[in-house]
Amino acid sequence: MLFPSIDMFRDALRDYVAQEGFQLVWEKNERTRISAHCGSQGCPWRIHAFLLPDGITFKIKTNAVKF
C-alpha cells in the first residue's frame, strides 16, 4: 500500500489504530523509515514503512499480523 506523504501514512495508521482499539507505540520515526507496534503486552502486531526513491511516497513493507 502506498501513501503520498509521511503525514498521510501517520494519519491512516492513527485512524486504523483508533478503529481497531489498540495502543500504538512508535519504534523508529526517521525521514526514510517508520516502524511501530502494538503497545499491549503479548500483542504481535507491527508495521514497517519506507520512503520510495521518489523522496515523497511511503510504502508499507511489513504488516506482520492483521489485528
pTM of the model: 0.79
**Is pLDDT of 66 > 80?**
no
Give per-residue pLDDT as tens, 9-58. Answer: 999 999 999 998 889 999 978 889 999 999 988 888 899 999 999 999 99
9 and 58 Cβ atoms separated by less than 8 Å: yes
Domain boundaries, the chain: 2-63
59 and 50 Cβ atoms separated by less than 8 Å: yes
67 and 23 Cβ atoms separated by less than 8 Å: no
**Is pLDDT of 65 > 90?**
no
